[in-house]
Amino acid sequence: MTNAFELIDRRPIESLALELQHFRHPATGAEHYHLATDHDEKVFMVALRTNPQDNSGVAHILEHTVLCGSERYPVRDPFFLMMRRSLNTFMNAFTSSDWTAYPFASENDRDFFNLLDVYLDSVFFSNLDPLDFAQEGHRLAFRDNDPEGELEFRGVVYNEMKGAMSSATARLFQAVTRYVFPNTTYHFNSGGEPQAIPGLSYEDLKRFYQQHYHPSNAVFLTFGRVAPERIQAELQEKVLHRFENPVQPISVPHEQRYLAPIEVTERYPIAATESAQNKDHVVMAWLLGDSTDLQAQLEAHFLSEVLMGNSSSPLRAALETTELSASASPLMGVEDSNREMMFVCGVEGTSAEQAAAVETLILDTLQKVVAEGVPLEDQTAVLHQIELGQREIGGDGMPFGLQLIMSVLPTAVHRGDVHQALDIDEALNHMREQIQDPDYLRQLIGRWLLDNPHRVRLTLAADPQYNERAEQEEKERLRRIAAALDTDQRAAIRDLNEKLEAHQQTEPDLDQLPKVTLDDIPKALKDRTPVRQDDAVTAYAEGTNGLTYLSWLRPLNDLSPEQQRWLPLYSMMLSEVGLGARDYGDVQRWQTRISGGVSAGLSARSAVDDTASVQRYLTVNSKALTHYSSDMNELLQETVTTARFDEGSRLHELLQTLLLRRLQGVTGSGHALAMTAASAVWSTGAAQQHWQSGLSGLAWLKSLVKDEKTSYISDLQAALKALHNELSRQPGHLLAIGEQDWLDQHLTSILGGWGATEPLTASTGSNELPAQSSLTAWITDSPVNYLAQAFPAVPVNHPDAAALAVLAGVLSNGFLHRAVREQGGAYGGGASYDLSNGVFRFYSYRDPRLAETYVDFARSMDWLLEQNLGYQPVEEAVLGLISGMDKPGSPAGEARRHFFDGLFGRDLAFRETLRERILAVREDDLKRVAADYLHFDDSSRWSRAVVTGADNRDQCKAWGMDLTEL
């Protein structure tokens, strides 16, 4: 420990195999929590308490602007530059409702401290250049840069939030919190409302920074095999010694409680061509207790899971099966990240006229639970789920250390007990005792819900004219601004945009930033070896902290295109229907009591040497605490053999929910969906993905699902039953992952009931699919665009694949980030080479432009061929590729990855060859493959897809695109 920090406490947490160490900096009061553990991946986060008092998005825009240059690193955009000069396994920044956080992770020591240096300077000594505020936040500009033309708002966050708030779920959440929290910071949208963002001034931004970005208002959290003293020495030397007087303590007060429930109505946009009938949301929300009170938090989650954890839970069952709506709400459960918790439930696909009936249904169901109770074994199962979630070592989507840090961040920000938030075993044991009392659950429902007057009933009504009104209001606002401008003010707007363009064109002095080089890349790839691999099973011994993972694989051989179409629905429903004599409700209870759930999915990749050949498997997966592993194995066997598809009402409910969720998800992943649609012309694998789970599949699903189940459900049942009969006759292969002792004692008995097994051989079924148009537009409720352009390239084992992968990074870093994001105002944009499907793609995300971005895609070729790149851009792209390839996962996740890599022909020898080719790429290789494969001047050699709003329909038609309304 350094002299600068005092050790407050240190305690082991056995269930997570780590020690929590708590330090405080006496001079500033800054807190440091270190999670000491034997993980190679090191994680750092600094979080600031940020409590906005309006909808201007000040905290969000500040998050962006802070990372655009600092005192010791005055280069433009050090955050994105460091992403290219690093072996990071994670870099980002987050704005939540009452905190802003800056996390990163790396396995490399040098890289970790390089990033620490840049992050600390960016956060505490940011330059806050007005031009960066204009770029990231908002500014006025003349359309087409014509000083006599119309005005428009520009800005990255402005366009980001236009896209984000086009989501019905986002609008629903913001509306709920606005009324549940009428007086505190949660009343406001911390990300920013598009109509309010232009009201934020640069002076407001600086004032917010001065008030909030101070070490006394900060919490530092770290994880991994790194000495906290070393981190603290950096904190003291680089930041803390320059601060003495703490700022005014920032905290969120308790909300003023309602004396009686309230009822409110808000609106959200749908397409002008759509009917608003039965597209409303009705939800109820209650304000609960303090999120920092572990007992209260566990009680809230326990209550939520008992009532709504699965389709057999009483409140969820009532909401899923009611005739009042199409589906349960996407907002269901406890929100515990705020100072006080919130409980939400409700429905979607209803009408505002049914709001009172929905409220009655919810309250009557709660009263029924109070009167009849819930079986003790169901309550025990909920505590089992909480324990399983606590013990599981994650790390596949987000670094495990960062997952833990994020889980305790609200507690740390609100000055709660972080140790208690991590070590919940004692509290869980206490709850196991409490639920033995039959009145315990009844008292919880009464205290938190039935007798709690701080309750909101919100109706979110669909409005086909919403977007048109918003657009007209924005135009009128801009006309008023334009009418009031004098000559000097017009000149000032033009001058600001010219200065910003010059600023964006400035080449950064990269020597001012630290970096790692190719010499820092680990020389050897990590590899795993299964402890058993034969025709029946592949087994891995891993440190899984008392969990066991099982997967059953079935090859998808000889399926017709029609059967392939049904595969995504089949895999989604397989774990949601009845099994044998059990109905779906009994199965849901069974899953919850003995496992972490059952899921099914499709695992497919193109052959390494032929993108027309796709290997495909159906996988059915489950996990459980080790002492439940035999029960889980029985559950898995029943799922893959005895699934029944005769519960017509259940299938109808599942399909309605699936359709609503997929439609709502388009604007969150529009760029990925557009890239798949564009790639489908050139790749069988991409075509299958597009046809099954992409935009084509979504359009088919929308045409399939009817309001009345009697009109289509019998055909659905017949198709799913036929597919299940076909697949259940095929042999399979078991993948088992667990600790060595479990494998030694139980693997043989686990295998006993599986019957016919399958050796690990390539599975390539029918690849016949309908032809895909090379120009497609998908019309949805979005005020921003998602663009893609795709070119056929080569399979992954071709010698040019490595150069194409590096080329994508060079184009993204060197030209497209600047042209599409900084100058074009999109939230993101770049290029990528799809290693699985052999397609090179360009894309943009939440993009205010359309034609201009396609022009920028083509201009990137001119930029490439005219540049003398040198080695630096190539090295940066290589670093990014290698860090992605080497990114660690969870113990179980890495074992699964090793298994599937081998299954699909991407074993260690293949990956080593690809790695060597990537490291050998030079500038001449990039220019050669660009000239060979990226033919912008020949429309027969590229395809385009765009996800856009109705106002761009005419433009897409003029391009000859096939239009589909989503």
pLDDT, tens digit (0-9, with 9 covering 90-100), for 605-616:
999 999 888 888
Task: Please spell the DSSP secondary structure of 108-125, one letter per residue.
Answer: -HHHHHHHHHHHHHHHHS
Under the phi-then-psi rule, with left for phi > 0, alpha for psi from -120 to 50, and beta for the rest, what region is 705?
beta
The pLDDT-based confidence of 558 (bands split at 50, 70, 90) is confident
Domain 262-396+417-463 has CATH 3.40.50.720: no
Report the alpha-carbon distance of residue 289 to residue 870 in Å, rounded.
Answer: 59
More confident of the two residues 193 and 561: 193
- Which pLDDT value is given to residue 763? 55
**pLDDT per position as a tens digit, 867-886:** 898 889 999 999 999 988 88
Tell me the C-alpha distance between 319 and 359, whole Å.
Answer: 11
pLDDT at 812: 96
Percent of the chain scoring above 90 in pLDDT: 82
What burial letters (b/e) apply to 175-197, b meaning 16+ CB within 10 Å?
A: bbbbbbbeebbbbbbbbbbbbbb
CB 166 within 8 A of CB 463: no
* Strand partners of residue 240: none
- Which of 720, 569, 563 lies closest to 646 in space, CA to CA? 720
Two tokens at 706? Answer: 């009817």
The residue that leads in pLDDT, 36 or 762, is: 36
Q: What pLDDT score does 769 carry? A: 65
Q: Do domains 6-251+486-512 and 262-396+417-463 have the same CATH topology?
A: yes
- Per the structure block, which two tokens stand in for 130? 């007005």
CA dihedral (210, 211, 213, 214) positive or negative: positive
pTM of the model: 0.94
pLDDT for position 396: 83
Q: Positive or negative CA dihedral for 693, 698, 704, 708? A: positive
pLDDT at residue 247, as a whole number: 78
pLDDT at 487 over 60: yes
Single-letter code of the amino acid located at 189: N
Which pLDDT band holds residue 1 (cuts at 50, 70, 90)?
very low
Task: Band the pLDDT of 477: cuts 50, 70, 90.
Answer: very high
Report pLDDT digits (tens) over 63-104.
999 999 999 999 988 999 998 889 999 999 999 999 999 999
Residue whose entry in the numeric block shows the structure tokens 């074009």: 824
Distance CA 16, CA 39 (A): 12
Tell me the CA distances in angstroms from 168 to 348, 356, 734, one per residue in order. 10, 21, 41
Greater confidence (115 vs 2) lies with 115
Distance of CA 100 to the CA centre of its chain: 18
Nearest to residue 126, comparing CAs of 213, 236, 233?
A: 213
775-965: CATH topology is Cytochrome Bc1 Complex; Chain A, domain 1 (3.30.830)
From 7-11, 276-280, 508-512, 939-943, the region with the lowest mean pLDDT: 508-512
**Per-residue pLDDT at 233 exceeds 60:** yes
Q: CB of 280 within 8 A of CB of 350?
A: yes
Sheet holding 839-847, edge to edge: 828-834, 839-847, 785-792, 943-948, 775-779, 962-965
CA torsion 812→816→822→828, rounded to 10°? -60
886: Cβ–Cβ under 8 A, 6 or more apart, which residues?
A: 87, 89, 107, 521, 522, 525, 526
Whole-angstrom CA distances from 65 to 130, 268, 828 are: 9, 30, 16
Beta bridge partners of 166: none
Determine the Cα–Cα distance for residues 355 and 265; give it in Å rounded to an integer: 10
Q: For position 762, what pLDDT does the model report?
A: 54
List all residues 6 or more positions away from 54 whose beta carbon is below 8 Å from its beta carbon.
188, 196
> Which pLDDT belongs to residue 527?
87
For the cut 70, the answer to whether the pLDDT of residue 766 exceeds it is no
Q: Above 70 in pLDDT, residue 624?
A: yes
> How far from 523 is each of 520, 527, 540, 739, 915, CA to CA, in Å?
9, 13, 24, 28, 10
Residue 55 has pLDDT above 90, yes or no: yes
User: Dihedral of the CA atoms 191, 194, 196, 197 (nearest 10)?
Assistant: 70
Residue with tokens 């992050």: 119
Which residues contact residue 335 at a Cβ distance below 8 angstroms, ignoring those fewer than 6 apart? 177, 341, 342, 343, 344
- Dist. CA 512–CA 517, nearest whole Å: 15
Domain boundaries, the chain: 6-251+486-512, 262-396+417-463, 775-965
Q: Is a pLDDT exceeding 60 seen at residue 211?
A: yes
How confident is the model over 146-178, as pLDDT tens digits?
Answer: 877 889 999 999 999 998 898 899 999 999 999
- Calculate the alpha carbon distances from 365 to 123, 390, 438, 586 in Å: 49, 30, 18, 19
**What is the mean pLDDT of the segment spanning 434-451?**
96
Q: How many CB atoms neighbour CB 517 within 10 A?
A: 12
Q: Quick one: which of 877, 863, 825 has its CA closest to 846? A: 825
Average pLDDT over residues 202-215: 96
CA distances from 105 to 345, 378, 527 (A): 36, 39, 21
Q: What's the mean per-residue pLDDT of the chain?
A: 93
Taking the C-alpha atoms of residue 312 and residue 584, their distance in angstroms, rounded to an integer, is: 8
Distance CA 616, CA 767 (A): 10
* Rounded distance between C-alpha atoms, residue 565 and residue 557, angstroms: 14
Instruction: Give the model's pLDDT for residue 761.
Output: 65
SS3 state at 671: helix
Residue type, position 676, single letter: T
Reported as a pLDDT band with limits 50, 70 and 90, residue 447 is very high
Phi, psi of 380 (to 5 degrees): -65, -35
Label residue 710 by pLDDT band (50, 70, 90). Answer: confident
In sequence order, which ranges of 267-417 are alpha helices (DSSP H)?
Answer: 294-308, 314-321, 355-372, 376-391, 400-413
Beta bridge partners of 599: 621
Predicted confidence (pLDDT) per residue in 259-316, tens digit:
999 999 999 998 888 888 999 999 999 999 999 999 999 999 999 999 999 999 999 9
Rounded to a whole number of angstroms, the CA Rg of the chain reads 28
Contacts 24+ apart (CB under 8 A), 827-830: 827/156, 827/159, 827/160, 827/163, 828/671, 829/853, 829/856
Given a cut of 90, is residue 401 above it in pLDDT?
A: yes
Per-residue confidence band for 731, with pLDDT thresholds at 50, 70 and 90: confident
Helix, strand, coil % over all residues of the chain, rounded to 5: 50, 20, 30
Give pLDDT, residue 711.
77
Domain range 6-251+486-512, CATH architecture: 2-Layer Sandwich (3.30)
* Residues 137 and 160 sit within 8 Å (Cβ to Cβ): no
Question: Token pair of 90, please?
Answer: 């994670």
Q: b/e for 115-152, b at 16 or more Cβ within 10 A?
A: bbbbbbbbbbbbbbbbbbbbbbbbbbbbeeeeeeeebb
* Residues 893-907: tens digit of each pLDDT: 999 999 999 999 999
